[in-house]
Amino acid sequence: MQRFTERIKRVVLGAPVATDVAKPQTMRTRLALPVFGAGILSAVAYGPDALIDALRSGMQQSWIPFMAGGTVIILMLLGLAYSSQVRAFPHERGDYGVVRDRLGQRFGMITGASLLIDQLFTVAISVAAIAEAVIYLLPSWEAWAPAIAVVALGLMTLVNLRGIRDRGRVLLAVWHGFVLILVILFVVGWARHDGSPTAPLDTGSPHVWSILVAFAGAVASGAVMATGIEHLASSGPYHAEPRGRRASRTLLIAVLAGAGAFYGVAWLAWAYRLSGWEDGPTFLQVAARVFGNGVLTWIVGVFAVAILYAAANSVFRRFSRLTGFLASDGVLPRQMAMRNDRLVQRGSVLIVAVLAVVIVIASGASVERLVHMYIVGVFTAIVLSQRAMIEWTGARRQLATAPRERRELLGRRILHVIALIAAGAVLLITAVFNFANGAWIAVVLIVLVVVLMHAIRRHYAAVRIDIALDKEAKAPTLPSATHGIVLVAQMHRPALHALAYAKAARHTTLKAVTVKVDRGASLALQKRWAQMNLGAPLVVLDSPYRDLVSPVLDYVKSLHRASPREAVFVYVPEYIVGRWWEQLLHNRNTARLRAQLLNVPNVVVSAVPWMLESARREGPVDAVVDAESQIS
């Protein structure tokens, strides 16, 4: 059974990978762009939709080019600020590392929690956008939107559990292919547009408050274009030397490409009078208006699905790395920093997959619903990272002596101050105007994760204090005596096997213990025990209510109370089975007993395995079962 399970695991998840084999790869800008820039470019698939939907609520679609221009200005400002940041800190920890090192662990935890929630929603909104693109191309599949998103998530999960790395040439083709098809779309769309409206815009006389809400929502919604920028900021270690300069260049090129693509799609939507009331992603509607519902629109859709898949797939690795850093710093469970035999942090991958599935199903795979929950996390991290960079530039400027270096640091400090103000304004607008639309969910999740991190940090701090050796620590005091107890239900080979192990330990006293549930079986056991003269007395514990655990637990506790300085060793025979269904044929009383005995001081529980024929022939399964059950 074990060999069969191992073969299935090998086929599904792949062969183990040695630690020495996996060496970090360094890339030049040409390859780093598609690897780290897919996130910011993929936002073109839903960023213009968010902007237009916000303006539609106040019937202000005529302002699309201007609000898109404002979004581009914010995006470029953040791009310049992060270019400065990645030159200063070209490490893999990104915003979390910068904030933790400059502002302290408390703000680092807020940044880490915000990024985790942002990355979770990135996966959810990306697969929802994939579903919407597929449905636009295949309208008859409309009812299957959540299923399409879940299938895409399942594929990503399997790929990341196998630890398959994106092939550089494939990513190059996807990223540059998507950029090329967008350039063709913009050129053809501009050339074919004659300046006259091709479809009427909705008109009306909205109230001033509706206009204000529409503009504020457009600022908040358009800012989704900045959500991929943090991934670029943590790409320094994967660039060739000089890492900071190359990573900065990659970031600026990716931001320029994302900003240009976003504005181009938004302008074409305005030029071709897309009001936002039509079904389907805006960029595919634009492609249909420009190219018609033909092959070229399908090509746009295929490349969009590919770039969305690449962006979401990269988030699994970002999430795993971030949880690893947080776990190493003691604010998440330590095991989340460990990698399995495929060099994959399996727990982090499964957490992303499961939570993203829940979000996708709960939202009905609706991009319009998800986008309102999406921005709070990343802009919280951006605000804190810019505050940390202001701190850093100020400290460096105080130490600088060269006038040129001081002027440069002053300029960078002003840049980060402006970026902080802009990001803070976006965050405030999002929290206020999108709060009721779903932003509150992201806020609540961030708060819950931060509270959890504080609790984990306190726990690990308490454990360190509890187990630390003081300066006067000496060798541990040996127990004055040891008492061995072998649990026996009937006379069989596993029981004698456990007794032999107990005798080999040479305890001060050694006893066999059985629980009397059936009078006849108990008398037969006592008679057989006396006949074999095994060199250890048999203690019979009465159990009027047929409980096998409580009498043994009470007996062991009584030994401890009688001699608190003496140790008690309990030997428990257990079967090792070879077929999964054999586990169902044996009870698990000893597992419950072991769990309770571990809470008794100076008690050691030893499981003595006995491999059944099926386990010897086919290999053991992962679990053990109780050998103390009555077998006829």
* CATH number, domain with residue 565: 3.40.50
User: Does 622 score more than 60 pLDDT?
Assistant: no
Are 380 and 489 within one domain? no
Is 330 a domain residue? yes
User: Does 199 score more than 50 pLDDT?
Assistant: no
Query: Could you tell me which residues come within 8 angstroms of residue 63 by beta carbon, excluding any fewer than 6 positions away?
Result: 55, 215, 218
Is 537 a domain residue? yes
Q: Do residues 353 and 153 make contact, with C-beta atoms less than 8 angstroms apart?
A: yes
Q: Do residues 50 and 371 make contact, with C-beta atoms less than 8 angstroms apart?
A: yes
Query: Confidence class of residue 514 from pLDDT cuts 50, 70 and 90?
Result: very high
**pLDDT tens figures, 138-193:** 998 888 999 999 999 999 998 888 876 656 678 888 888 999 999 999 999 988 87
**pLDDT reported for residue 38:** 87
Tell me the C-alpha distance between 224 and 44, whole Å: 9
Are 563 and 423 within one domain? no
Are 350 and 491 within one domain? no
User: Does 2 score more than 60 pLDDT?
Assistant: no
Can you give the CATH number for the domain in which 133 is found?
A: 1.20.1740.10
Angle at 478 between CA 473 and CA 479, to 5 degrees: 130
Are 402 and 505 within one domain? no
Are 405 and 523 within one domain? no
Q: What is the value of pTM for the model shown?
A: 0.82
Structural domain ending residue among the three candidates 430, 460, 490: 460
Are 414 and 511 within one domain? no
Are 235 and 322 within one domain? yes
Q: Do residues 344 and 320 make contact, with C-beta atoms less than 8 angstroms apart?
A: yes
> 371: which DSSP letter?
G
Are 410 and 500 within one domain? no
CA distances from 79 to 58, 69, 374, 419, 571 (A): 30, 15, 19, 9, 64
Q: Which residue has the higher pLDDT, 167 or 390?
A: 390
> For residue 431, which of 228, 225, 209, 216 has the smallest C-alpha distance?
216
User: Does 244 score more than 90 pLDDT?
Assistant: no
580: part of which helix (H) or strand (E)?
none
Are 301 and 216 within one domain? yes
Tell me the C-alpha distance between 41 and 35, whole Å: 11
What is the 3 state secondary structure string of 143-206? HHHHHHHHHHHHHHHHHHHHCCCCCHHHHHHHHHHHHHHHHHHHHHHHHHCCCCCCCCCCCCCC
238 CA to centre of own chain: 21
Structural domain ending residue among the three candidates 397, 430, 460: 460
Q: Which residue has the higher pLDDT, 513 or 599?
A: 513
**Range(s) of the domain holding residue 328:** 28-194+205-460
Query: Confidence class of residue 632 from pLDDT cuts 50, 70 and 90?
Result: very low
Is 474 a domain residue? no
Query: Confidence class of residue 513 from pLDDT cuts 50, 70 and 90?
Result: very high
Mean pLDDT of the chain: 84
CA distances from 205 to 57, 214, 218, 320, 336 (A): 12, 13, 19, 50, 55
Is 214 a domain residue? yes
User: Does 198 score more than 60 pLDDT?
Assistant: no
Tell me the C-alpha distance between 115 and 379, whole Å: 9
Are 103 and 167 within one domain? yes
Angle at 628 between CA 521 and CA 542, to 5 degrees: 50
Tell me the C-alpha distance between 361 and 148, whole Å: 11
Is 558 a domain residue? yes
Q: DSSP letters along 449-484, please?
A: HHHHHHHHHHHHHHHHHHH---TT--PPPPPS-EEE
100: part of which helix (H) or strand (E)?
helix 94-103
The mean pLDDT of 593-597, rounded to a whole number, is 84
Is 12 a domain residue? no
Is 514 a domain residue? yes
Domain count, the chain: 2
Label residue 113 exposed, middle or buried (CB < 10 Å: 0-12, 13-18, 19+): buried
Query: Confidence class of residue 565 from pLDDT cuts 50, 70 and 90?
Result: confident
Tell me the C-alpha distance between 556 and 567, whole Å: 10
Tell me the C-alpha distance between 54 and 48, whole Å: 10
The mean pLDDT of 504-520, rounded to a whole number, is 91
Q: DSSP letters along 396-447, please?
A: HHHH--SHHHHHHHHHHHHHHHHHHHHHHHHHHHHHHHSIIIIIHHHHHHHH
Structural domain ending residue among the three candidates 460, 491, 524: 460
Give percent of the chain above pLDDT 90: 39
**pLDDT tens figures, 203-228:** 455 566 667 777 777 777 777 888 88
Tell me the backbone φ, ψ of residue 273, rounded to 5 degrees.
60, 50
Q: Do residues 154 and 365 make contact, with C-beta atoms less than 8 angstroms apart?
A: no
Query: Could you tell me which residues come within 8 angstroms of residue 51 by beta carbon, excluding any fewer than 6 positions away?
Result: 64, 67, 68, 71, 218, 221, 222, 266
Q: Do residues 354 and 363 make contact, with C-beta atoms less than 8 angstroms apart?
A: no
Are 211 and 340 within one domain? yes
User: Does 409 score more than 60 pLDDT?
Assistant: yes
Are 444 and 525 within one domain? no
Is 623 a domain residue? no
